[in-house]
Structure 1
Amino acid sequence: MSKWQLALEQSQDLKVTHGTIAATAEAGRQGADLRLFLIACDYEETLYFQQTYAGQGDTFAGLMTHHHSYAHRGALAAQPYFSFFKYDTSGTFSQVKWMLDNQTLDESQRYQYRVYRWYVCHRWQVAYEHDADGNRVSGDLGALKEHIRAGHSIKVGVRQLFGVQNDDPSGPDHISFLDIMQPLIQDGHVGANCDFILSGAPQWPFTWRDGLAVGMVWPWSSGEMVCHLVEPGKLPFKRTTVRRAMQWLVADDS
Protein backbone atom coordinates (compact mmCIF):
# COMPACT_ATOMS: atom_id res chain seq x y z
CA MET A 1 0.00 0.00 0.00
CA SER A 2 1.36 3.44 -0.92
CA LYS A 3 2.41 5.73 1.91
CA TRP A 4 2.65 9.46 2.28
CA GLN A 5 6.22 10.64 2.84
CA LEU A 6 7.50 13.93 4.19
CA ALA A 7 9.42 15.38 1.24
CA LEU A 8 10.03 18.93 2.44
CA GLU A 9 9.67 20.93 5.64
CA GLN A 10 10.08 24.69 5.96
CA SER A 11 10.12 26.74 9.14
CA GLN A 12 8.23 30.00 9.64
CA ASP A 13 11.04 31.95 7.98
CA LEU A 14 10.92 29.48 5.02
CA LYS A 15 14.24 27.87 5.95
CA VAL A 16 14.39 24.25 4.74
CA THR A 17 14.61 21.95 7.77
CA HIS A 18 13.97 18.64 6.00
CA GLY A 19 14.34 17.42 2.42
CA THR A 20 14.91 19.65 -0.59
CA ILE A 21 12.72 21.81 -2.80
CA ALA A 22 14.29 20.30 -5.93
CA ALA A 23 13.47 16.71 -4.91
CA THR A 24 9.87 17.69 -4.15
CA ALA A 25 9.58 19.33 -7.57
CA GLU A 26 10.99 16.17 -9.18
CA ALA A 27 8.32 14.12 -7.40
CA GLY A 28 5.75 16.49 -8.87
CA ARG A 29 7.14 15.94 -12.38
CA GLN A 30 6.69 12.20 -11.83
CA GLY A 31 3.01 12.70 -11.01
CA ALA A 32 3.18 12.18 -7.25
CA ASP A 33 0.17 13.27 -5.20
CA LEU A 34 0.85 16.35 -3.06
CA ARG A 35 -0.40 17.58 0.31
CA LEU A 36 0.63 20.42 2.60
CA PHE A 37 0.36 20.51 6.40
CA LEU A 38 0.31 23.98 7.98
CA ILE A 39 0.26 25.36 11.50
CA ALA A 40 -1.41 28.77 11.74
CA CYS A 41 -1.75 30.98 14.81
CA ASP A 42 -4.96 29.31 16.04
CA TYR A 43 -5.47 26.12 14.00
CA GLU A 44 -3.74 23.33 12.09
CA GLU A 45 -4.73 22.03 8.65
CA THR A 46 -3.73 19.74 5.82
CA LEU A 47 -4.46 20.83 2.26
CA TYR A 48 -5.34 18.21 -0.37
CA PHE A 49 -4.47 19.41 -3.86
CA GLN A 50 -6.67 18.32 -6.78
CA GLN A 51 -4.13 19.62 -9.30
CA THR A 52 -0.36 20.03 -9.30
CA TYR A 53 2.06 22.15 -11.31
CA ALA A 54 5.66 21.05 -11.88
CA GLY A 55 8.16 23.02 -13.92
CA GLN A 56 11.89 22.87 -14.37
CA GLY A 57 14.40 22.78 -11.53
CA ASP A 58 12.77 23.54 -8.18
CA THR A 59 9.46 24.97 -9.43
CA PHE A 60 6.26 23.32 -8.22
CA ALA A 61 2.88 24.28 -6.78
CA GLY A 62 -0.25 22.69 -5.38
CA LEU A 63 -3.66 23.91 -6.56
CA MET A 64 -7.04 23.60 -4.84
CA THR A 65 -9.47 23.78 -7.74
CA HIS A 66 -12.83 24.05 -5.95
CA HIS A 67 -12.40 24.67 -2.24
CA HIS A 68 -15.86 24.86 -0.62
CA SER A 69 -15.60 27.91 1.62
CA TYR A 70 -17.94 28.82 4.47
CA ALA A 71 -16.10 31.56 6.39
CA HIS A 72 -15.38 35.03 5.04
CA ARG A 73 -13.05 37.50 6.76
CA GLY A 74 -13.39 35.98 10.20
CA ALA A 75 -17.12 35.21 10.21
CA LEU A 76 -19.46 32.63 8.73
CA ALA A 77 -20.61 33.70 5.28
CA ALA A 78 -24.32 34.09 4.54
CA GLN A 79 -23.80 31.80 1.54
CA PRO A 80 -20.99 29.36 0.75
CA TYR A 81 -18.68 30.12 -2.15
CA PHE A 82 -15.76 28.70 -4.13
CA SER A 83 -12.12 29.49 -3.44
CA PHE A 84 -9.24 28.80 -5.83
CA PHE A 85 -5.87 28.45 -4.10
CA LYS A 86 -2.26 28.15 -5.20
CA TYR A 87 0.49 27.29 -2.70
CA ASP A 88 4.22 27.07 -3.34
CA THR A 89 7.40 27.46 -1.26
CA SER A 90 7.46 31.28 -1.38
CA GLY A 91 5.36 31.84 1.76
CA THR A 92 2.67 33.65 -0.24
CA PHE A 93 -0.54 31.95 -1.33
CA SER A 94 -2.87 33.01 -4.14
CA GLN A 95 -6.61 32.94 -3.46
CA VAL A 96 -9.58 34.09 -5.51
CA LYS A 97 -13.05 33.88 -3.97
CA TRP A 98 -15.97 33.41 -6.39
CA MET A 99 -19.24 34.22 -4.65
CA LEU A 100 -22.61 32.84 -5.69
CA ASP A 101 -23.70 36.33 -6.81
CA ASN A 102 -20.80 36.21 -9.34
CA GLN A 103 -18.71 38.70 -7.34
CA THR A 104 -14.99 37.89 -7.11
CA LEU A 105 -12.41 38.87 -4.52
CA ASP A 106 -8.65 38.41 -4.78
CA GLU A 107 -7.43 37.74 -1.26
CA SER A 108 -3.92 36.53 -2.02
CA GLN A 109 -1.51 37.29 0.78
CA ARG A 110 1.73 36.51 2.52
CA TYR A 111 1.05 34.56 5.70
CA GLN A 112 3.73 33.25 8.04
CA TYR A 113 2.62 29.78 9.06
CA ARG A 114 4.62 28.25 11.88
CA VAL A 115 5.57 25.26 9.76
CA TYR A 116 5.12 24.04 6.19
CA ARG A 117 5.29 20.27 5.62
CA TRP A 118 5.00 19.04 2.04
CA TYR A 119 4.01 15.38 1.70
CA VAL A 120 4.16 13.29 -1.47
CA CYS A 121 2.70 9.92 -2.37
CA HIS A 122 4.43 7.99 -5.16
CA ARG A 123 1.67 5.70 -6.42
CA TRP A 124 1.49 6.50 -10.13
CA GLN A 125 3.17 4.95 -13.17
CA VAL A 126 3.10 6.29 -16.72
CA ALA A 127 0.97 3.91 -18.79
CA TYR A 128 0.93 5.93 -22.00
CA GLU A 129 2.45 9.17 -23.28
CA HIS A 130 1.88 11.01 -26.55
CA ASP A 131 2.77 14.31 -28.19
CA ALA A 132 0.35 17.11 -29.06
CA ASP A 133 -0.55 15.40 -32.35
CA GLY A 134 -1.39 12.14 -30.62
CA ASN A 135 1.77 10.32 -31.70
CA ARG A 136 2.97 7.71 -29.21
CA VAL A 137 6.02 8.65 -27.13
CA SER A 138 6.02 5.69 -24.72
CA GLY A 139 3.76 3.07 -23.20
CA ASP A 140 0.84 1.18 -24.69
CA LEU A 141 -2.59 2.66 -25.43
CA GLY A 142 -4.20 -0.78 -25.41
CA ALA A 143 -2.87 -1.46 -21.91
CA LEU A 144 -4.25 1.90 -20.73
CA LYS A 145 -7.68 0.90 -22.03
CA GLU A 146 -7.51 -2.36 -20.09
CA HIS A 147 -6.73 -0.43 -16.89
CA ILE A 148 -9.88 1.62 -17.46
CA ARG A 149 -11.96 -1.50 -18.10
CA ALA A 150 -10.62 -2.96 -14.84
CA GLY A 151 -11.73 0.09 -12.84
CA HIS A 152 -8.20 1.26 -12.01
CA SER A 153 -7.42 4.81 -10.90
CA ILE A 154 -6.24 7.06 -13.75
CA LYS A 155 -4.98 10.63 -13.92
CA VAL A 156 -3.58 12.74 -16.72
CA GLY A 157 -0.68 15.15 -16.95
CA VAL A 158 -1.07 17.94 -19.52
CA ARG A 159 2.05 19.71 -20.76
CA GLN A 160 1.93 23.49 -21.21
CA LEU A 161 -1.50 23.73 -19.60
CA PHE A 162 -0.99 27.25 -18.26
CA GLY A 163 -1.96 29.70 -20.97
CA VAL A 164 -4.55 27.31 -22.42
CA GLN A 165 -7.24 30.01 -22.09
CA ASN A 166 -5.47 31.82 -24.95
CA ASP A 167 -4.00 28.65 -26.50
CA ASP A 168 -0.58 30.02 -25.59
CA PRO A 169 1.98 27.23 -24.98
CA SER A 170 4.95 29.62 -25.00
CA GLY A 171 5.57 29.68 -21.24
CA PRO A 172 8.30 27.77 -19.39
CA ASP A 173 8.17 23.99 -19.73
CA HIS A 174 5.80 22.48 -17.20
CA ILE A 175 3.31 19.68 -16.68
CA SER A 176 0.09 19.90 -14.69
CA PHE A 177 -1.54 16.72 -13.35
CA LEU A 178 -5.34 16.65 -13.21
CA ASP A 179 -7.73 14.47 -11.22
CA ILE A 180 -10.13 12.40 -13.32
CA MET A 181 -13.76 11.68 -12.44
CA GLN A 182 -14.68 9.61 -15.51
CA PRO A 183 -12.18 7.94 -17.88
CA LEU A 184 -13.61 7.08 -21.30
CA ILE A 185 -12.84 4.85 -24.28
CA GLN A 186 -14.31 6.09 -27.56
CA ASP A 187 -13.37 5.98 -31.25
CA GLY A 188 -10.16 4.11 -30.46
CA HIS A 189 -8.90 6.70 -27.97
CA VAL A 190 -8.87 7.26 -24.23
CA GLY A 191 -10.45 10.42 -22.85
CA ALA A 192 -11.26 11.84 -19.46
CA ASN A 193 -13.89 13.97 -17.79
CA CYS A 194 -11.65 15.79 -15.32
CA ASP A 195 -12.35 17.53 -12.06
CA PHE A 196 -12.36 21.35 -12.26
CA ILE A 197 -8.99 22.66 -13.47
CA LEU A 198 -7.18 25.96 -13.03
CA SER A 199 -4.99 27.64 -15.62
CA GLY A 200 -2.88 30.67 -14.83
CA ALA A 201 -0.57 32.87 -16.85
CA PRO A 202 2.13 31.06 -18.90
CA GLN A 203 4.99 32.16 -16.63
CA TRP A 204 6.89 31.33 -13.45
CA PRO A 205 6.48 32.59 -10.83
CA PHE A 206 2.76 33.28 -11.22
CA THR A 207 -0.13 34.49 -9.10
CA TRP A 208 -3.83 34.62 -9.90
CA ARG A 209 -3.40 38.37 -10.39
CA ASP A 210 -1.43 37.50 -13.53
CA GLY A 211 -4.50 35.70 -14.88
CA LEU A 212 -6.81 32.85 -13.91
CA ALA A 213 -9.20 30.61 -15.81
CA VAL A 214 -11.44 27.94 -14.31
CA GLY A 215 -12.15 25.07 -16.65
CA MET A 216 -14.03 21.89 -17.36
CA VAL A 217 -11.84 19.95 -19.78
CA TRP A 218 -11.89 16.70 -21.75
CA PRO A 219 -8.36 15.62 -22.72
CA TRP A 220 -7.97 12.79 -25.25
CA SER A 221 -5.12 10.51 -26.23
CA SER A 222 -5.41 11.99 -29.74
CA GLY A 223 -3.79 15.13 -28.30
CA GLU A 224 -7.03 17.10 -28.43
CA MET A 225 -8.42 18.75 -25.33
CA VAL A 226 -11.92 20.20 -25.39
CA CYS A 227 -12.12 23.07 -22.90
CA HIS A 228 -14.90 25.14 -21.36
CA LEU A 229 -13.09 28.03 -19.67
CA VAL A 230 -14.13 31.14 -17.77
CA GLU A 231 -12.47 33.90 -15.80
CA PRO A 232 -14.14 33.91 -12.37
CA GLY A 233 -16.90 36.52 -12.30
CA LYS A 234 -17.11 36.78 -16.08
CA LEU A 235 -19.64 34.15 -17.16
CA PRO A 236 -20.45 32.47 -19.50
CA PHE A 237 -17.90 29.74 -20.12
CA LYS A 238 -16.32 29.73 -23.58
CA ARG A 239 -15.56 26.53 -25.46
CA THR A 240 -12.34 25.94 -27.33
CA THR A 241 -10.29 22.96 -28.51
CA VAL A 242 -6.51 22.87 -28.19
CA ARG A 243 -3.75 20.31 -28.66
CA ARG A 244 -1.30 19.34 -25.94
CA ALA A 245 1.17 16.56 -25.17
CA MET A 246 -0.01 14.36 -22.30
CA GLN A 247 0.95 11.59 -19.90
CA TRP A 248 -1.66 9.07 -18.73
CA LEU A 249 -0.88 7.57 -15.33
CA VAL A 250 -2.22 4.50 -13.53
CA ALA A 251 -2.12 4.04 -9.76
CA ASP A 252 0.10 1.14 -8.70
CA ASP A 253 -2.27 0.32 -5.83
CA SER A 254 -5.19 -0.34 -8.20
Structure 2
Amino acid sequence: MKKKKPDSNWDFQPVQVIDNVARRPAQLKILPLPDSLEFSLPEGHICLITDDGSLTTSHVVQTLCDRSWKVVVLSFPQAIIAQQAPLPAGVERITLADMSEELLQHKLSAIATNIGTIGSFIHIHPQAVEQDKAIVKHIFFVAKHLKKSLTETANYTRSSFLTVVRLDGAFGLEHNTNYGAIAGGLFGLTKTLRWEWPKVFARSIDLSPAIDAQKSAEHIIGELCDSNLYINEVAYGSQGRVTLKASVVK
Protein backbone atom coordinates (compact mmCIF):
# COMPACT_ATOMS: atom_id res chain seq x y z
CA MET A 1 0.00 0.00 0.00
CA LYS A 2 1.38 3.40 -0.98
CA LYS A 3 2.09 5.56 2.03
CA LYS A 4 0.36 8.89 2.23
CA LYS A 5 2.69 11.88 2.37
CA PRO A 6 2.40 14.09 5.44
CA ASP A 7 0.22 17.14 4.99
CA SER A 8 2.45 19.89 3.59
CA ASN A 9 0.72 22.42 5.82
CA TRP A 10 2.58 20.84 8.71
CA ASP A 11 5.98 20.75 7.00
CA PHE A 12 7.09 24.24 7.95
CA GLN A 13 5.71 26.17 10.88
CA PRO A 14 6.97 29.36 12.49
CA VAL A 15 8.76 29.00 15.81
CA GLN A 16 6.96 30.47 18.79
CA VAL A 17 9.12 31.80 21.60
CA ILE A 18 7.30 32.02 24.93
CA ASP A 19 9.23 32.93 28.08
CA ASN A 20 12.48 32.38 26.14
CA VAL A 21 11.45 28.81 25.28
CA ALA A 22 11.17 27.93 21.58
CA ARG A 23 8.04 25.96 20.72
CA ARG A 24 7.38 24.15 17.44
CA PRO A 25 4.28 22.21 16.36
CA ALA A 26 4.54 18.43 16.35
CA GLN A 27 4.96 16.70 13.01
CA LEU A 28 4.83 13.06 11.94
CA LYS A 29 8.04 11.26 11.05
CA ILE A 30 7.76 8.03 9.06
CA LEU A 31 9.67 5.11 10.57
CA PRO A 32 10.83 1.77 9.16
CA LEU A 33 9.32 -1.39 10.61
CA PRO A 34 10.82 -2.31 13.99
CA ASP A 35 13.80 -4.63 14.29
CA SER A 36 13.17 -7.63 16.51
CA LEU A 37 15.14 -8.29 19.67
CA GLU A 38 15.10 -11.96 20.64
CA PHE A 39 14.41 -12.20 24.36
CA SER A 40 12.14 -13.94 26.83
CA LEU A 41 11.20 -13.47 30.44
CA PRO A 42 13.25 -15.44 32.98
CA GLU A 43 11.85 -18.46 34.79
CA GLY A 44 9.37 -17.39 37.44
CA HIS A 45 8.41 -14.16 35.66
CA ILE A 46 5.16 -13.31 33.89
CA CYS A 47 3.76 -10.74 31.48
CA LEU A 48 0.65 -8.96 32.75
CA ILE A 49 -1.78 -7.75 30.07
CA THR A 50 -4.94 -5.73 30.60
CA ASP A 51 -8.02 -6.91 28.73
CA ASP A 52 -9.71 -4.36 26.46
CA GLY A 53 -12.53 -6.81 25.75
CA SER A 54 -11.55 -7.30 22.11
CA LEU A 55 -9.82 -9.98 20.08
CA THR A 56 -6.68 -7.83 20.10
CA THR A 57 -6.08 -9.01 23.65
CA SER A 58 -6.71 -12.62 22.60
CA HIS A 59 -4.19 -12.44 19.75
CA VAL A 60 -1.49 -10.74 21.84
CA VAL A 61 -1.86 -13.35 24.58
CA GLN A 62 -1.81 -16.23 22.10
CA THR A 63 1.32 -14.91 20.38
CA LEU A 64 3.21 -14.60 23.65
CA CYS A 65 2.05 -18.05 24.78
CA ASP A 66 3.32 -19.45 21.47
CA ARG A 67 6.70 -17.97 22.41
CA SER A 68 6.57 -19.81 25.76
CA TRP A 69 5.86 -16.68 27.80
CA LYS A 70 3.76 -17.07 30.92
CA VAL A 71 0.90 -14.58 30.65
CA VAL A 72 -1.70 -13.35 33.13
CA VAL A 73 -4.64 -11.20 32.01
CA LEU A 74 -6.07 -8.45 34.21
CA SER A 75 -9.71 -7.64 33.48
CA PHE A 76 -11.49 -4.53 34.70
CA PRO A 77 -14.91 -4.80 36.37
CA GLN A 78 -17.60 -5.68 33.87
CA ALA A 79 -19.39 -2.48 34.83
CA ILE A 80 -16.38 -0.73 33.24
CA ILE A 81 -15.71 -3.10 30.30
CA ALA A 82 -18.63 -5.45 29.76
CA GLN A 83 -16.95 -7.80 27.30
CA GLN A 84 -14.07 -10.09 28.21
CA ALA A 85 -11.71 -11.35 25.52
CA PRO A 86 -11.51 -15.14 25.05
CA LEU A 87 -8.20 -16.52 26.29
CA PRO A 88 -6.10 -19.56 25.36
CA ALA A 89 -6.38 -22.58 27.62
CA GLY A 90 -4.23 -22.33 30.71
CA VAL A 91 -4.02 -18.53 30.81
CA GLU A 92 -5.20 -17.15 34.12
CA ARG A 93 -7.56 -14.20 34.25
CA ILE A 94 -7.69 -11.92 37.29
CA THR A 95 -10.87 -9.81 37.37
CA LEU A 96 -11.08 -6.67 39.48
CA ALA A 97 -14.29 -6.36 41.48
CA ASP A 98 -13.89 -2.60 41.79
CA MET A 99 -11.54 0.21 40.80
CA SER A 100 -9.96 0.89 44.18
CA GLU A 101 -6.20 1.21 44.44
CA GLU A 102 -6.24 -1.07 47.49
CA LEU A 103 -7.78 -3.97 45.57
CA LEU A 104 -5.41 -3.44 42.64
CA GLN A 105 -2.40 -3.53 44.95
CA HIS A 106 -3.71 -6.70 46.59
CA LYS A 107 -4.22 -8.42 43.22
CA LEU A 108 -0.77 -7.44 41.94
CA SER A 109 0.82 -8.75 45.13
CA ALA A 110 -1.15 -11.99 44.85
CA ILE A 111 -0.03 -12.46 41.24
CA ALA A 112 3.61 -11.98 42.24
CA THR A 113 3.30 -14.39 45.17
CA ASN A 114 1.20 -17.13 43.58
CA ILE A 115 2.00 -16.99 39.85
CA GLY A 116 5.21 -15.11 39.13
CA THR A 117 7.12 -11.86 39.30
CA ILE A 118 5.70 -9.31 36.88
CA GLY A 119 8.50 -8.59 34.42
CA SER A 120 6.47 -7.07 31.59
CA PHE A 121 3.25 -5.07 31.46
CA ILE A 122 1.04 -4.26 28.46
CA HIS A 123 -2.04 -2.09 28.81
CA ILE A 124 -4.47 -2.32 25.89
CA HIS A 125 -6.89 0.56 26.28
CA PRO A 126 -10.51 -0.07 25.27
CA GLN A 127 -12.32 1.95 22.64
CA ALA A 128 -15.38 4.08 23.30
CA VAL A 129 -15.89 3.52 27.02
CA GLU A 130 -17.40 6.03 29.40
CA GLN A 131 -14.88 5.28 32.14
CA ASP A 132 -11.78 6.42 30.24
CA LYS A 133 -10.59 8.59 33.11
CA ALA A 134 -10.95 5.82 35.70
CA ILE A 135 -9.02 3.36 33.54
CA VAL A 136 -6.19 5.81 32.82
CA LYS A 137 -5.97 6.61 36.54
CA HIS A 138 -5.73 2.89 37.27
CA ILE A 139 -2.80 2.48 34.88
CA PHE A 140 -0.99 5.21 36.80
CA PHE A 141 -1.62 3.11 39.93
CA VAL A 142 -0.30 0.03 38.12
CA ALA A 143 2.91 1.90 37.31
CA LYS A 144 3.23 2.94 40.95
CA HIS A 145 2.92 -0.62 42.24
CA LEU A 146 5.01 -2.29 39.51
CA LYS A 147 8.00 0.03 39.90
CA LYS A 148 9.98 -2.34 42.13
CA SER A 149 9.19 -5.45 40.08
CA LEU A 150 9.96 -3.95 36.67
CA THR A 151 13.07 -2.03 37.67
CA GLU A 152 14.56 -5.06 39.42
CA THR A 153 13.79 -7.33 36.45
CA ALA A 154 15.52 -4.79 34.19
CA ASN A 155 18.80 -5.44 35.99
CA TYR A 156 19.22 -8.78 34.19
CA THR A 157 16.84 -8.84 31.21
CA ARG A 158 14.47 -6.60 29.28
CA SER A 159 11.46 -5.55 31.29
CA SER A 160 8.78 -3.46 29.66
CA PHE A 161 5.85 -1.14 30.23
CA LEU A 162 3.67 -0.62 27.13
CA THR A 163 0.43 1.28 26.68
CA VAL A 164 -1.75 0.89 23.60
CA VAL A 165 -4.52 3.32 22.62
CA ARG A 166 -6.66 3.88 19.54
CA LEU A 167 -6.74 7.56 18.65
CA ASP A 168 -6.33 7.94 14.88
CA GLY A 169 -3.03 6.18 14.24
CA ALA A 170 -1.31 9.57 14.02
CA PHE A 171 -1.32 10.89 17.62
CA GLY A 172 -4.47 12.87 16.85
CA LEU A 173 -2.83 14.93 14.11
CA GLU A 174 -4.95 13.70 11.20
CA HIS A 175 -8.20 15.16 12.58
CA ASN A 176 -10.34 12.59 10.78
CA THR A 177 -11.48 10.34 13.64
CA ASN A 178 -13.54 10.93 16.74
CA TYR A 179 -11.71 9.63 19.79
CA GLY A 180 -11.50 10.21 23.51
CA ALA A 181 -8.57 12.48 24.29
CA ILE A 182 -8.23 11.26 27.89
CA ALA A 183 -6.41 8.09 26.81
CA GLY A 184 -3.72 10.35 25.37
CA GLY A 185 -2.59 10.92 28.94
CA LEU A 186 -0.91 7.52 28.78
CA PHE A 187 1.70 8.98 26.42
CA GLY A 188 2.74 11.35 29.18
CA LEU A 189 2.98 8.46 31.62
CA THR A 190 5.37 6.43 29.49
CA LYS A 191 7.49 9.50 28.72
CA THR A 192 7.86 10.06 32.44
CA LEU A 193 8.69 6.41 33.10
CA ARG A 194 11.48 6.50 30.52
CA TRP A 195 13.21 9.13 32.66
CA GLU A 196 12.36 7.65 36.06
CA TRP A 197 13.00 4.00 35.09
CA PRO A 198 15.87 4.30 32.56
CA LYS A 199 16.50 0.53 32.41
CA VAL A 200 12.85 -0.36 31.70
CA PHE A 201 11.65 -0.40 28.09
CA ALA A 202 8.68 2.01 28.04
CA ARG A 203 6.64 2.78 24.93
CA SER A 204 3.22 4.13 23.94
CA ILE A 205 1.44 2.95 20.81
CA ASP A 206 -1.43 4.60 18.92
CA LEU A 207 -3.25 2.20 16.60
CA SER A 208 -5.74 3.41 14.03
CA PRO A 209 -9.23 2.07 14.80
CA ALA A 210 -9.30 0.78 11.21
CA ILE A 211 -6.60 -1.83 11.96
CA ASP A 212 -8.05 -5.26 12.71
CA ALA A 213 -7.33 -7.31 15.83
CA GLN A 214 -4.78 -9.66 14.27
CA LYS A 215 -2.73 -6.85 12.72
CA SER A 216 -3.03 -4.80 15.91
CA ALA A 217 -1.54 -7.68 17.88
CA GLU A 218 1.31 -7.97 15.37
CA HIS A 219 2.11 -4.28 15.81
CA ILE A 220 2.01 -4.56 19.62
CA ILE A 221 4.35 -7.56 19.64
CA GLY A 222 6.61 -5.82 17.13
CA GLU A 223 6.94 -2.80 19.42
CA LEU A 224 7.41 -4.98 22.50
CA CYS A 225 10.41 -6.60 20.83
CA ASP A 226 11.82 -3.51 19.10
CA SER A 227 15.58 -3.18 19.56
CA ASN A 228 15.48 0.63 19.23
CA LEU A 229 15.62 2.17 22.70
CA TYR A 230 15.43 5.78 21.55
CA ILE A 231 11.78 5.94 20.47
CA ASN A 232 9.15 6.76 23.07
CA GLU A 233 5.95 6.70 21.02
CA VAL A 234 4.84 5.02 17.82
CA ALA A 235 1.63 5.15 15.79
CA TYR A 236 0.26 2.97 13.00
CA GLY A 237 -2.23 4.43 10.56
CA SER A 238 -2.65 5.69 7.01
CA GLN A 239 1.03 6.69 6.78
CA GLY A 240 2.37 3.43 8.15
CA ARG A 241 4.59 3.44 11.23
CA VAL A 242 5.28 6.96 12.49
CA THR A 243 6.55 8.88 15.49
CA LEU A 244 6.62 12.58 16.40
CA LYS A 245 9.22 15.23 15.70
CA ALA A 246 9.36 19.01 15.94
CA SER A 247 8.46 20.83 12.73
CA VAL A 248 11.25 22.20 10.55
CA VAL A 249 11.95 25.93 10.56
CA LYS A 250 11.84 27.48 7.11
TM over 0.5: no
- Greater RCO, CA 8 A, separation 6+: 2
Counting strand residues as a fraction of each chain, which structure ranks higher? 1
Counting helix residues as a fraction of each chain, which structure ranks higher? 2
